[in-house]
């Protein structure tokens, strides 16, 4: 496997018109966990799936936390920058369009995807955030240029409250993102409804049409 700074899996798209899904697992997952989800959400898309490099009691994560729902913001910033650089390097190595990268993250993976959008706004064309909460509030909000974002959270989630869902949606909207919130029956686990809604939402958005803002 090519060393791009993360243990990862890359599977090319079935044709050049497909986006690249950046699959970001939850706590205790790895680079293989969300591959079946990627296939279900956008058949034929390229799949780029890294393993988080932070270990919590031996379980991979994408950034450190101090307690449940309390994040090490300095580490969040460092890891978000690191992940954005990985995506850029992977785009060069595997020859996919970096303007067509869509994050699909679950729990901790959704939170690092949110952090990347808030700190490295040119890195992602869209995002599906499954069971997501606010990772940090930057001092200066980015310009997300109507980046499409789906937040799919559980109505009975003991970890992510309805207020936290609205906080995240509001933060991203104030940054200019085009945010859709979909509340699912159930808790912190993914459901069939998550998959069905996310698949339809991905099919409805235009991916890869964002202008390149990396020079800002």
Which residue numbers are catalytic? 107, 157, 188
Show the tokens assigned to 117.
Answer: 């959008």
Beta-carbon contacts of 70 under 8 Å, excluding residues fewer than 6 positions away, are none
Phi then psi dihedrals of residue 90, to 5 deg: -65, -35
Tokens 């969040």, located at residue: 76
179 in Cβ contact with 153 (< 8 Å): no
Residue 104's beta-bridge partner residues?
23, 128
Q: Cα separation of 126 and 182, whole Å? A: 16
Q: Cα separation of 9 and 2, whole Å? A: 10
12 in Cβ contact with 46 (< 8 Å): yes
Beta-sheet strand order (sheet of 126-130): 8-11, 46-50, 20-24, 101-106, 126-130, 148-154, 178-184
């Amino acid at each position: 496997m090519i060393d791009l700074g993360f243990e990862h899996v890359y599977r090319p798209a079935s044709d050049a018109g497909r986006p690249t899904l950046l699959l970001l697992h939850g706590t205790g997952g790895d680079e293989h966990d969300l591959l079946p989800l990627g296939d279900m959400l956008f058949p034929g898309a390229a799949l780029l799936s890294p393993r988080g490099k932070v270990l919590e009691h031996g379980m991979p994560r994408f950034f450190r936390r101090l307690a449940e729902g309390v994040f090490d913001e300095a580490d969040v910033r460092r890891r978000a920058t690191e992940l954005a650089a990985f995506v850029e390097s992977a785009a060069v190595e595997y020859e996919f369009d970096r303007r067509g990268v869509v994050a699909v993250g679950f729990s901790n993976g959704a939170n690092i995807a949110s952090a990347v959008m808030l700190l490295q706004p040119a890195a992602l064309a869209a995002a599906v955030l499954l069971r997501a909460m606010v990772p940090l509030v930057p001092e200066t909000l980015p310009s997300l240029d109507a980046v499409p974002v789906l937040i799919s959270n559980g109505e009975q989630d003991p970890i992510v409250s309805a207020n936290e869902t609205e906080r995240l949606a509001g933060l991203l909207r104030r940054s200019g993102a085009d945010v859709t919130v979909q509340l699912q029956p159930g808790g912190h686990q993914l459901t069939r409804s998550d998959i069905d809604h996310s698949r339809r939402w991905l099919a409805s958005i235009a991916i890869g049409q964002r202008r390149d803002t990396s020079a800002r």
